[in-house]
Amino acid sequence: MRVTFTVNGSPQEADDVWEGESLLYVLRERMGLPGSKNACEQGECGSCTVRLDGVPVCSCLVAAGQVQDREVVTVEGLAGEGGELSTVQQAFVDAGAVQCGFCTPGLLVAADELLERNPEPSDGDIREALSGNLCRCTGYEKILDAVRLAAARTEGAV
């Protein structure tokens, strides 16, 4: 089947998509967008999180056919037109919230969605928004610091 959808603001087509093919596979293998990571393929780790019509989802659990005429934003789509890092991406760098980097794309997408929806999140809000994303390296404190920093920068406080 052919699937037509928007990825990071650009209309895209994927041809010869088989019925069980995941959105994650299409993004990584067909469209050359390797940011979303293929870790568990069971929706448990969040490394493949993208936004589907604005909602964070695990792209490994979404059949490619389900995105027909819909909008997908990947971690690559968070950066600016010229490739400059978004506020949340820069905050992750500045706060030292990245270690091995495998979980980072999903955390960035989830944090970006949170800050768009709630520019002044509480710690509880941040923890809830990131609860579907597992990190085995950082211990989460620097990730929480990064989201707090991004929120402060978005509000102009830092």
Task: Output the pLDDT for position 33.
Answer: 97
Task: Output the pLDDT for position 45.
Answer: 96
Architecture of domain 3-78: Roll (3.10)
Higher pLDDT, 156 or 77: 77
pLDDT(51) > 70 = yes
- The arithmetic mean of pLDDT across residues 8-12, rounded, is 97
Q: CA 47, 7, 68 angle in degrees (round to 5)?
A: 100
Per-residue confidence at 157, pLDDT binned at 50, 70, 90?
Answer: low
pLDDT(156) > 90 = no
DSSP E strand boundaries for the chain: 3-7, 10-14, 49-52, 55-58, 71-73
Q: CA 128, 132, 138 angle in degrees (round to 5)?
A: 90
Q: Phi first, then psi: what are they for 157, rounded to 5°?
A: -80, -25
Task: Output the pLDDT for position 138.
Answer: 79
Rounded CA separation 81/138 (Å):
30
pLDDT(61) > 90 = yes
Query: Is it true that 3-78 and 87-154 share their CATH fold?
Result: no
Closest CA to 138 of 110, 109, 103: 103
Task: Output the pLDDT for position 147.
Answer: 98
Measured from the Cβ of residue 29, the count of other Cβ atoms closer than 10 Å reads 14
Find out whether 118 and 150 touch, Cβ atoms under 8 Å: no
Q: What is the pLDDT of residues 72-129, one digit of tens each?
A: 999 999 999 899 999 999 999 999 999 898 999 999 999 999 999 999 999 999 999 9
Tell me the domain boundaries of the chain: 3-78, 87-154
Helix axes 104-117, 141-154, angle to 10 degrees: 40
Task: Output the pLDDT for position 53.
Answer: 98
Q: What top-level class would CATH report for the domain 87-154?
A: mainly alpha
Per-residue confidence at 158, pLDDT binned at 50, 70, 90?
Answer: low
In percent, how much of the chain has pLDDT > 70? Answer: 98
In percent, how much of the chain has pLDDT > 90? Answer: 89
What is the reported pTM?
A: 0.94
Q: Copy the structure tokens of residue 9.
A: 């603001």
